Amino acid sequence: MADIQAIGTKLAEILRKQDVDFIEAHLEESQNSHLSYRSRELESVGRVDAVGGNVRALAKGGWGFVSFNSFDDLAGKVALAVKQARLVGKGESRLAEVAPVVEKVLGSVKENPVDLPLADKKQLLDGYNRIIWETSGIQTSTIGYADGYKRKIYLNSSGSFIEQERADVMLRVSVVAARDGDIQQAGLSVGSPGEPEKIKDLEEDINRLARHAVALLEAPRVNGGEYTVVLDPVLAGVFVHEAFGHLSESDFVYENERMREIMQMGKQFGGPHLNIIDSAAVPGLRGSYKYDDEGTPATRTYLIREGKLVGRLHSRETAAKMNEAPTGNARAVSYRYPPIVRMTNTFIEPGSVSFEDMIADIKEGIYAKSWYGGTTSMEMFTFSSGEAYMIRDGKIAEAVRPVMLTGNVFTTLQNIDAIGNDLDMNQGGGCGKGEQVPLPVSNGSPHIRIRHCLVGGK
């Protein structure tokens, strides 16, 4: 294995000599292991080791970026990034001030999950797979387990030299039931920043999942149209991530005059009960860290407070260009890509409404639980549930096929009229932006109720 610390020290020397406005480098060493099951069989087991790095240079507002696996000719790679930046730069370089940091942030990972015996991982997953296949009516299933450990070094021309580590554990289970050509699926996804305990003791959840997939074959599809919808904490977390979170990423805003008008500070986005936060500084979640990939310390940022827009997520560049404070949200999925503005742990703060009160006065509505996926175009978003039930006369009624919900963010946030008291963080998601996917994030919320939500159906 390459010694990335020694390479970092060597690079720091080279960076210091460059005549550009700013230059930084990332070095990364990672190990991953995965086990995946399809149907009754363990299908694939593998190990992935990677080392690589990049150099990013800024000259007159233009960026040059070079990523590599081979550490040969580092000076040449730095020179290429500098040359590229100069070729692009025609204006002025602006980066928000961040004090240089020299720090080793190690020790947060108690145990490298990749090093745990494969036999133990297999035993756990074998048990889950047995539960799935004890359920009658199952056609096929997949279990995907992946863990990883990463050591990263960040250094820049201002003198920062930060060493950080992170671990990650993910489990995705998908169960497919079939009858007469009709195919139904149910899935779950859990994760943690390294602790293997988070994916243990899921026997009951997996049993429920398998039975739910089979039950869906009997479930009707809802009629498409507008409904009052209650989202569980998992799906509401996906909703806040998709519908609002991406909109608060300043790289969509900072050079777009009209977006800036839409995203004016103080603008009313929702009722006074609505508070939305993004924070990498909350410890122990998949989106947590001490320094982002530009060496900026993590913060806790209110995006919406009492219904009003009060903050947004920044890199050093977007913060400088919008004259706001950097928030430490510049992240790259790996050394292959430059850092861009990303979410970390995003959630709706809990309110005071109990679940029972929330559904009590709904004559006909939909209770949507768990997630399949979500995406946004900024104005419009879609997200899909893993499970759905009708709400009739204030009670949860029959299961229906999972639903896809869509809406316009500006009206939908206003249409949230109840926020529950039961915040829960979902750690099973990965976020994609451009080609950088999947980035570990978490999102969460209490139960929420949305009026007039557009639901796809027959």
Partner 1 sequence: MEEILSLARKEAQEAEVFLVSSEETQVHFEANRLKQLQTRQKDSVSLRVVKDGRIGYATATLLDNAAELVRNAVETAQFGTVAKFRFPEKTVYPQVDVFDDSVNAVTIDNMIELGTAMIDTVLAHTTDIICDAGTNRGTVSVRIANTKGGEAEYHKSFFSLGLEGSLINGTDMLFVGESQGSCHPLLDPALITGDVLRQLELAKDRAAVPTRPLPVIFTPTGVASALIFSLMSAFNGKSVLEGASPIGEKLGWQVFDEKLSLWDDATLAYRPASRPCDDEGVPSRRTPLIERGVVSGFLYDLQTAARAGAESTGNGERGNGLPAPSPSAFVIAPGGASFEEMLADIKEGLVIEHLMGASQGNVLGGEFSGNVLLGYKVENGKIVGRVKDTMVSGNVYELLKEINAVGKEAKWVGGSLLTPPIYCPRLSVASKG
Under rule CB under 8 A, which residues in 317-356 are in contact with partner 1?
A: 336, 338
Other residues' Cβ atoms within 10 Å of the Cβ of residue 374: 23
DSSP 398: E
Question: Do you know the residue count of the chain?
Answer: 458
What are the residues whose beta carbons fall under 8 Å from the beta carbon of 362, sequence distance 6 or more? 228, 230, 391, 394, 449
DSSP 242: I
CA 173 to CA 88: how far, in whole Å?
A: 46
Bridge partners for 340 per DSSP: 331
Q: Which of 10, 47, 104, 395 binds partner 1 (CB under 8 A)?
A: 47
**Does 39 sit near partner 1 (CB under 8 A)?**
yes
Give me the least distance between CB of 77 and partner 1, in Å please.
Answer: 8
Beta strand 345-348 with 442-445 is parallel
**Does 52 sit near partner 1 (CB under 8 A)?**
yes
Residues 272 and 307 sit within 8 Å (Cβ to Cβ): yes
Other residues' Cβ atoms within 10 Å of the Cβ of residue 266: 7
Give me the least distance between CB of 93 and partner 1, in Å please.
Answer: 12
Q: Which of 5, 32, 415, 421 binds partner 1 (CB under 8 A)?
A: 32
Residues 421 and 401 sit within 8 Å (Cβ to Cβ): no
**Does 220 sit near partner 1 (CB under 8 A)?**
no
Beta strand 276-279 with 225-231 is unpaired
DSSP 420: B
Of 183-202, which residues contact partner 1 (CB under 8 A)? 183-185
What are the tokens at 264? 């004016």
Of 133-152, which residues contact partner 1 (CB under 8 A)? 139-140
**Does 10 sit near partner 1 (CB under 8 A)?**
no
CA 358 to CA 236: how far, in whole Å?
A: 14
The amino acid at 416: I
User: Residue written as tokens 């009951």?
Assistant: 204
88 vs 325, which CB is nearer to partner 1? 88
Q: Which of 7, 15, 23, 85 binds partner 1 (CB under 8 A)?
A: 85
Region binding partner 1 by CB under 8 A among candidate stretches 128-136, 258-266, 389-397, 415-423: 258-266
Give me the least distance between CB of 21 and partner 1, in Å please.
Answer: 14
Give me the least distance between CB of 28 and partner 1, in Å please.
Answer: 10
Residues 250 and 343 sit within 8 Å (Cβ to Cβ): no
Region binding partner 1 by CB under 8 A among candidate stretches 196-204, 286-294, 404-412, 438-446: 404-412
Of 420-449, which residues contact partner 1 (CB under 8 A)? none
CA 367 to CA 450: how far, in whole Å?
A: 10
Q: Which of 226, 306, 364, 393 binds partner 1 (CB under 8 A)?
A: 226
Q: Which of 15, 21, 27, 68 binds partner 1 (CB under 8 A)?
A: 68
352 vs 375, which CB is nearer to partner 1? 375
Number of residues interacting with partner 1: please give it, by CB under 8 A: 84
Q: Which of 12, 14, 50, 396 binds partner 1 (CB under 8 A)?
A: 50
**Does 67 sit near partner 1 (CB under 8 A)?**
yes
CA 113 to CA 116: how far, in whole Å?
A: 5
Of 102-131, which residues contact partner 1 (CB under 8 A)? 118-119, 122
**Does 244 sit near partner 1 (CB under 8 A)?**
no
Q: Which of 320, 378, 396, 399 binds partner 1 (CB under 8 A)?
A: 378
**Closest of 242, 170, 229 to residue 199, by C-alpha:** 170
CA 385 to CA 110: how far, in whole Å?
A: 34
Region binding partner 1 by CB under 8 A among candidate stretches 41-49, 204-212, 416-424, 439-447: 41-49
CA 334 to CA 311: how far, in whole Å?
A: 27
Q: Which of 13, 97, 134, 255 binds partner 1 (CB under 8 A)?
A: 255
217 vs 281, which CB is nearer to partner 1? 217
Q: Which of 5, 158, 406, 415 binds partner 1 (CB under 8 A)?
A: 406
Bridge partners for 347 per DSSP: 277, 444
